[in-house]
């Protein structure tokens, strides 16, 4: 049995020595201000133990990691009907790409690229006002992490609202195909606030634990989703969670994972643990450079890759 506290300490120490730290996302002005020297890691095991190192208690912008929680919530609302509007295939293109939509009747490839996440939020809006849908997402994440202190960073949400031209284009384009039912401003209001959730590695690893524990939160003993649904969400994270870097992440880390341009990654070792890492600098695919490297070391030392030790 690996000594997990020694492991996270060693990873934090090793990562801090690396000079190539990637590039902090600057297309969202508020994210450009984040110091690239931060690094945090948290592992929560299915028996409820926590192992943390570095800046594991500092909240950061979870950005697209939120797409996992929004998808889980939307599946709870409409079940498998969700798949009539969003696919389950890797896109092989950038997170904010528009090209496939024109050839594929405005139906996004998967729920983790921006277009797909915007459709998921359109579903969450069904019967709600934007403010209520945002409230549902925040409540759900607080419930998952068993932590009511989780909040939305409104400066980040505003920053994206002002500069999210590409996301507006995606939403309007999909609306022209009838794939989005609500006005773009409303759907994106939900989307930008969900992306602006601020969470620490410790909170994020706790929020993702249900995916490692067959759909159940071991801390509260409450069922979040069925075993089948947890397994399927993990499958989507493995194949689509890192956009056009998903193959590389599976090759190097071998775990379902979801990244965000804030530099966070949530990874799931089924039956074992939920792991969150944060380092703000990104690689060319918009995934945390050092976060991916930290997870690679972690998977090697624990033997947790789903493809074998
Ligand atoms: N990959 C990401 O984290 C992208 C999320 C970001 N809010 C955007 O829409 O551009």
Q: How many CB atoms lie within 10 A of CB 36?
A: 16
pTM score: 0.98
* Residue-wise pLDDT tens digits, 8-38: 999 999 999 999 999 999 999 999 999 999 9
Distance 33 CA to ligand 1 centre (A): 16
Q: Does domain 64-195 have CATH number 3.40.50.2300?
A: no
**Residue from 160, 242, 258, 291 to probe ligand 1 pocket by mutation (most atoms less than 8 Å from CB):** 160
Q: Which atom, in ligand 1's list, is nearest to the CA of 117?
A: 9
Which pLDDT score is estimated for 117?
98
Tokens of 181: 């039912």
Residues across the chain: 309
CATH superfamily of domain region 4-63+199-302: DD-peptidase/beta-lactamase superfamily (3.40.710.10)
* Residue-wise pLDDT tens digits, 221-240: 889 999 999 999 999 999 99
> What is the residue-averaged pLDDT of the chain?
97
- Does residue 220 have a pLDDT over 90? no
Which pLDDT score is estimated for 86?
98
Kindly list the catalytic residues.
Answer: 64, 67, 191, 243, 261
- Does residue 127 have a pLDDT over 80? no
Mean pLDDT of 80-103: 96
Q: How far apart are CA 208 and CA 122, in angstroms?
A: 23
Ligand 1 binding site (Cβ under 6 Å of any ligand atom): 63-64, 95-96, 114, 160, 167, 195, 260-261, 286
Distance 195 CA to ligand 1 centre (A): 7
Q: How far apart are CA 192 and CA 31, in angstroms?
A: 13
Q: How far apart are CA 76 and CA 78, in angstroms?
A: 6
**Domain ranges, ordered by start, for the chain:** 4-63+199-302, 64-195
Distance 141 CA to ligand 1 centre (A): 18
Q: Indicate if 64-195 has the same CATH topology as 4-63+199-302.
A: yes
* Residue-wise pLDDT tens digits, 163-182: 999 999 999 999 999 999 99
Closest CA to 259 of 272, 271, 273, 249: 249
- Does residue 1 have a pLDDT over 80? no
* Residue minimizing CA distance to atom 6 of ligand 1: 63
């Amino acid at each position: 049995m690996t000594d997990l506290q020694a492991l996270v300490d060693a990873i934090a120490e090793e990562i801090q020595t690396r000079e190539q730290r990637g590039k902090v996302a600057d297309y969202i002005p508020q994210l450009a201000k984040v110091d690239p020297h931060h690094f945090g890691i948290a592992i929560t095991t299915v028996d409820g133990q926590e192992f943390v190192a570095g800046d594991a208690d500092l909240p950061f912008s979870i950005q697209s990691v939120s797409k996992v929680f929004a998808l889980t919530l939307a599946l709870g609302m409409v079940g498998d009907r969700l798949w009539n509007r969003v696919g389950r295939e890797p896109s092989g293109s950038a997170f904010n790409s528009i090209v496939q939509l024109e050839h594929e009747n405005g139906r996004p490839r998967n729920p983790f690229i921006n277009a797909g996440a915007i459709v998921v939020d359109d579903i969450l809006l069904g019967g709600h006002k934007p403010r209520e849908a945002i409230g549902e997402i925040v409540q759900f994440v607080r419930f998952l992490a068993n932590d009511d202190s989780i909040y939305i960073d409104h400066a980040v949400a505003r920053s994206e609202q002002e500069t999210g031209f590409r996301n507006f284009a995606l939403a309007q384009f999909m609306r022209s195909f009838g794939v989005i039912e609500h006005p773009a401003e409303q759907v994106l209001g939900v989307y930008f606030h969900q992306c602006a959730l601020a969470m620490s590695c410790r909170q994020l690893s706790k929020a993702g634990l249900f995916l490692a524990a067959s759909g159940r939160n071991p801390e509260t003993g409450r069922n979040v989703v069925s075993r089948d649904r947890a397994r399927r969400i993990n499958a989507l994270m493995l194949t689509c969670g890192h956009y056009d870097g998903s193959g590389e992440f599976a090759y190097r880390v071998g775990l379902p994972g979801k990244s965000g341009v804030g530099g966070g990654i949530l990874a799931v070792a089924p039956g074992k643990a939920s792991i969150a890492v944060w380092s703000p600098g990104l690689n060319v695919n918009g995934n945390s450079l050092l976060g991916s490297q930290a997870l690679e070391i972690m998977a090697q030392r624990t033997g947790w890759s789903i493809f074998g030790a």
